[in-house]
Amino acid sequence: MIKRTVEISRQPVYLSAKLDQLIIQPFDAPKEQASSIPAEDIGVVVVDHPQVTYSHGALQTLLHKGACVVVCGRDHQPAGLLLPISSHTQQVDRLREQISLSKPRAKRLWQQLVVGKVRAQASNLPKDSIGWRKLKALFKEVRSGDPTNVEAQAAKQYWAEWRSEFSAFCRDPDGTDPLNLHLNYGYAVLRAAVARALVSAGLHPALGLHHANRSNAFCLVDDLMEPLRPLVDRHARGLMREEREELDQANKARLLSILTAECLMDEQTGPLMVQLHRYTASLVRCFTGEQVKLSIPWPLELDG
C-alpha cells in the first residue's frame, strides 16, 4: 500500500498520538476539530511551520510505524531528517554485506546508476536537440566506476540546455532563486523517501557505493537518488513554465507528488514510494550476489 505524505505549513499545530493515530490539533481550534491519521498509513511527514510542537509520543509512534519526519528551516528548505531505526530481522547481516562489498561490485553498481541518471536526463531534453544527442551518446560510454566522470560531463551539458530556456539559471545547491529553491526542496523530499526505504530494507544509509564524504550520513541515499533526480527536475521546470515561482504550499504539494508518480521496474508499474522498496530490495540482492543488474525505477513521465 502506498504511504501518505503529510505536509504541515498552513498554521501552527500540536502533534500528538493516541491509539496509533497521529493527532493534528490546530492551536486556535477546539479539540473536537482535531484531525487524525493512522500512523501506519504515513510514509513521510514534512513540517514547515515554525510554531509546530510535538509530543514525544507523536514522534515515537511515527518512527515505530516506519514513517520519517522532515523538519524545514526558516528558508522552507528541509533542515533535518528523523528516521526510524529498522527492526529488520537481518539487519546485522545486511550491515556485514555492505561493509564487505567488493570494490569491483560497488563500481559496477555505480556504473548502472550513472547510466540510469544520464538516460533520464536525456529524456528531459527535447528529442533530437544537441543536448539530447550528446547525452544519448554519453550514457553508452559509462564504464565500471565511471573513471572518465561521464556523470559530470552529462551534467554540464544537461544544465547548459536548461539555460537555453532559463537564461539566468545556474544550478546551485545553495541557490535562492525560484528554480533552485524548487529543485532543492524536491531533492530533499526524494532523499527522505529513499532513506526511509533503505532503512526499511535493513541497510545503513551512510555506507555508499560512490559517495563517501565522511560528514555525510546519507552517502548510499545520495547514490540511489541519482537516476531519480530528473523526475524532480521535470516537476520543478513545469512549475517555472507555469510562472509559479513562489515555494508555497501548492507548489510544495506538486513536488511532493513525485512520491506517487507511476514508475516501471521489472515490468511492474507502481507509485514511486512503493517502487523504492523494490529498488532497495534489488540492491540487497546485488550485495548478496543473487543479482548482478540493479533494478532501477523508471518514471513513466519520462519519455525515453
Dig out the grid coordinates for 196 from the structure. Answer: 526511509
- Least confident segment among 28-32, 98-102, 177-181: 28-32
119 and 205 inside one domain: yes
104 and 146 inside one domain: yes
Please state, in angstroms and rounded to a whole number, the distance separating the CA atoms of residues 56 and 53: 10
Q: Is residue 304 part of a domain?
A: no
pLDDT exceeds cutoff 80 at 74: yes
Quick one: average pLDDT of 17-40? Answer: 91
The pLDDT confidence band at residue 31, using thresholds 50, 70 and 90, is confident
> Residue 81: what pLDDT?
87
Interval 244-295: pLDDT, tens = 999 999 999 999 999 999 999 999 999 999 999 999 999 999 999 999 999 9
Q: Are the CB atoms for 275 and 208 separated by under 8 Å? A: no
More confident residue, 33 or 224: 224
pLDDT exceeds cutoff 70 at 179: yes
104 and 51 inside one domain: no
Interval 57-71: pLDDT, tens = 999 999 999 899 999
CATH code, domain with 170 = 1.20.120.920
**190 sits in which H/E element:** helix 178-200
DSSP, collapsed to helix, strand or coil, labels residue 235 as helix
Computed on alpha carbons and rounded to an integer, the radius of gyration of the chain in Å comes to 20
Q: Is residue 219 part of a domain?
A: yes
> Residue 194: what pLDDT?
95
Q: Which domain holds residue 54?
A: 4-82
pLDDT exceeds cutoff 60 at 87: no
Number of C-beta neighbours around residue 297 at 10 A = 27
